[in-house]
A and B are shown apart, each in its own frame.
Chain A
Amino acid sequence: MLYIHHTTCISPQPGTGPVDGVYRIVEPAYPGIPANTLRRMSKAVRLGVGAATPLIRQGRIDGILIGTGNGGMEESVKFLRQVVEYAEGMLAPGHFVQSIPNAIASQIGLSDHNRGYNSTYVHRGLGFEYALIDASMLISEHPGTRYLVGGVDELSGYHYRIELADGWYKTTLTPGKSLYDYDSPGSIGGEGAALFLVSGEPAGALAAIKEIETFHSTDKHVVATRLRAFLARHLPAGSQPGQQLSGSPALYLSGENGDNRGLPFYSACAAVLDPAVPVVRYKHLCGEYPTASAFAVWLALQLVAPQPLPAPILLYNNHKLTQHSFILLERFR
Chain B
Amino acid sequence: MGVISAIGDSLAANRKSLVHKESGIGYSGPANSRYTGEIPFGSVALSNAELREHTGIHDAGASRTTLLAAHAFRQAIGDAGLSGASLLTATDTALIGATTVGGMCLTDELYRDTNGGAQGSDYLASYDGASVQQYLQNRYGLSGPVTTINTACSSSANAIQYGARLIRNGLVRRAIVGGVDSLAKYTINGFNALQILAPAACKPFDEHRQGLNLGEGAGFLVLEREEDLAGKKVYAELRGYCNVNDAYHASSLSPEGEGPFLAMKGALRSAGLDVSEIGYINAHGTGTENNDASESQAMIRIFGTPPAFASTKSSTGHTLGASGAIEAIYSILNLFYQEAYPGVNFSTPIPETGLRPLTEFQPMKLEQVLSNSFGFGGNCTSLVFSAAPAGLAKAI
A22 to chain B, nearest CB (A): 15
Q: Tell whether, in the assembled complex, residue B146 and residue A216 are in contact, meaning their CB atoms are under 8 Å apart.
A: yes
Interface residues of B in 132-155 (CB under 8 A from A): 133-134, 137, 142-143, 145-152
Residues in chain B near residue A141, CB distance under 8 A: 165, 168-169
Given contacts A120-B149, A123-B147, A115 and B162 within 8 Å (CB-CB)? no
A70 CA to B33 CA, complexed, in Å: 25
B166 interfacial contact with A, CB 8 Å: yes
Residues in chain A near residue B128, CB distance under 8 A: 69-70, 122, 124
A35 interfacial contact with B, CB 8 Å: no
A123 CA to B99 CA, complexed, in Å: 11
Say which one of A98-106, A232-240, A280-288 lies at the interface with B: A98-106
Interface residues of A in 77-132 (CB under 8 A from B): 77, 79-81, 83-84, 87-88, 90-93, 96-103, 105-107, 109-110, 112-124, 126-127, 130
- Mask of A153-175 contacts with B, CB within 8 angstroms, 1/0: 00000100110011000000000
B192 to chain A, nearest CB (A): 8
Residues in chain A near residue B246, CB distance under 8 A: 115
Q: Tell whether, in the assembled complex, residue A80 and residue B107 are in contact, meaning their CB atoms are under 8 Å apart.
A: yes
- Mask of B235-258 contacts with A, CB within 8 angstroms, 1/0: 000000001111111110000001
Q: Tell whether, in the assembled complex, residue A93 and residue B34 are in contact, meaning their CB atoms are under 8 Å apart.
A: no
Residues in chain A near residue B129, CB distance under 8 A: 101, 122-123
A257 to chain B, nearest CB (A): 18
B2 interfacial contact with A, CB 8 Å: no
Size category of the B interface is 35 or more
Q: Tell whether, in the assembled complex, residue A119 and residue B158 are in contact, meaning their CB atoms are under 8 Å apart.
A: yes
Instruction: Determine which of A81, A101, A109, A130 lies in contact with B378 in the assembled complex, contact meaning CB atoms within 8 Å.
Output: A109
Residues in chain B near residue A79, CB distance under 8 A: 186, 189-190
Say which one of B65-73, B108-116, B335-343 lies at the interface with A: B108-116
A102 CA to B378 CA, complexed, in Å: 10
Q: Tell whether, in the assembled complex, residue B169 and residue A81 are in contact, meaning their CB atoms are under 8 Å apart.
A: no
A317 to chain B, nearest CB (A): 15
Q: Tell whether, in the assembled complex, residue A103 and residue B250 are in contact, meaning their CB atoms are under 8 Å apart.
A: yes
Of all chain A residues, which has the CB nearest B91? A215
Q: Tell whether, in the assembled complex, residue A88 and residue B34 are in contact, meaning their CB atoms are under 8 Å apart.
A: yes
Residues in chain A near residue B145, CB distance under 8 A: 130, 133, 214
A124 CA to B35 CA, complexed, in Å: 32
Instruction: Determine which of A102, A116, A121, A166 lies in contact with B148 in the assembled complex, contact meaning CB atoms within 8 Å.
Output: A121
A83 CA to B165 CA, complexed, in Å: 39
A211 to chain B, nearest CB (A): 11
A70 CA to B103 CA, complexed, in Å: 13
A298 CA to B150 CA, complexed, in Å: 24
Say which one of B19-27, B119-127, B296-304 lies at the interface with A: B119-127
Residues in chain B near residue A76, CB distance under 8 A: 104, 186
Residues in chain A near residue B64, CB distance under 8 A: none
A96 CA to B184 CA, complexed, in Å: 13
A14 CA to B111 CA, complexed, in Å: 34
Residues in chain B near residue A166, CB distance under 8 A: 120, 124-125
B379 interfacial contact with A, CB 8 Å: yes
Q: Tell whether, in the assembled complex, residue B146 and residue A123 are in contact, meaning their CB atoms are under 8 Å apart.
A: yes
A107 CA to B246 CA, complexed, in Å: 11
Q: Tell whether, in the assembled complex, residue B245 and residue A115 are in contact, meaning their CB atoms are under 8 Å apart.
A: yes
B130 interfacial contact with A, CB 8 Å: yes
Q: Tell whether, in the assembled complex, residue A161 and residue B113 are in contact, meaning their CB atoms are under 8 Å apart.
A: yes
A137 interfacial contact with B, CB 8 Å: yes
Q: Tell whether, in the assembled complex, residue A162 and residue B127 are in contact, meaning their CB atoms are under 8 Å apart.
A: yes
Size category of the A interface is 35 or more
Q: Tell whether, in the assembled complex, residue B34 and residue A102 are in contact, meaning their CB atoms are under 8 Å apart.
A: no
Given contacts A83-B107, A100-B152, A90 and B193 within 8 Å (CB-CB)? yes
A76 CA to B91 CA, complexed, in Å: 35
Of all chain A residues, which has the CB nearest B169? A137
Q: Tell whether, in the assembled complex, residue B375 and residue A102 are in contact, meaning their CB atoms are under 8 Å apart.
A: yes
Residues in chain B near residue A116, CB distance under 8 A: 244-245
Q: Tell whether, in the assembled complex, residue B124 and residue A162 are in contact, meaning their CB atoms are under 8 Å apart.
A: yes
Q: Tell whether, in the assembled complex, residue B147 and residue A126 are in contact, meaning their CB atoms are under 8 Å apart.
A: yes
Given contacts A97-B251, A110-B378, A216-B146, A117 and B111 within 8 Å (CB-CB)? no
Instruction: Determine which of B114, B151, B258, B379 lies in contact with A77 in the assembled complex, contact meaning CB atoms within 8 Å.
Output: B114
Residues in chain A near residue B379, CB distance under 8 A: 102, 106, 118-119
Given contacts A102-B377, A117-B244, A122 and B150 within 8 Å (CB-CB)? yes
B62 interfacial contact with A, CB 8 Å: no
Given contacts A92-B193, A100-B100, A122-B128, A115 and B259 within 8 Å (CB-CB)? yes
Residue among B114, B158, B244, B259 with most chain A CB within 10 A: B114
Of all chain B residues, which has the CB nearest A117? B243
Residue among A110, A122, A214 with most chain B CB within 10 A: A122
Residues in chain A near residue B251, CB distance under 8 A: 93, 97
Residues in chain A near residue B166, CB distance under 8 A: 137
Q: Tell whether, in the assembled complex, residue A84 and residue B243 are in contact, meaning their CB atoms are under 8 Å apart.
A: no
Instruction: Determine which of A99, A103, A122, A158 lies in contact with B149 in the assembled complex, contact meaning CB atoms within 8 Å.
Output: A122
Residues in chain A near residue B143, CB distance under 8 A: 215-217
Q: Tell whether, in the assembled complex, residue B189 and residue A91 are in contact, meaning their CB atoms are under 8 Å apart.
A: yes
Residues in chain B near residue A119, CB distance under 8 A: 149, 151, 158, 162, 243, 379
Residues in chain B near residue A69, CB distance under 8 A: 128, 130
Instruction: Determine which of A64, A81, A118, A124 lies in contact with B130 in the assembled complex, contact meaning CB atoms within 8 Å.
Output: A124
Q: Tell whether, in the assembled complex, residue B243 and residue A100 are in contact, meaning their CB atoms are under 8 Å apart.
A: no
A139 to chain B, nearest CB (A): 10
A-B contact pairs, 9 of them (CB 8 A): A69-B130, A77-B114, A87-B34, A93-B251, A99-B190, A109-B245, A117-B244, A161-B114, A161-B116
Query: Which A residues are closer than 8 A to B by beta carbons?
Result: 64, 69-70, 76-77, 79-81, 83-84, 87-88, 90-93, 96-103, 105-107, 109-110, 112-124, 126-127, 130, 133-134, 137, 140-141, 158, 161-162, 165-166, 214-217, 322
Task: Give me 19 other A-B pairs in contact (C-beta within 8 A), A122-B129, A162-B113 excluded.
Answer: A70-B128, A84-B108, A90-B192, A101-B150, A102-B150, A102-B152, A102-B379, A105-B151, A106-B376, A113-B247, A117-B243, A118-B379, A123-B130, A123-B146, A127-B148, A137-B165, A141-B165, A165-B118, A216-B143
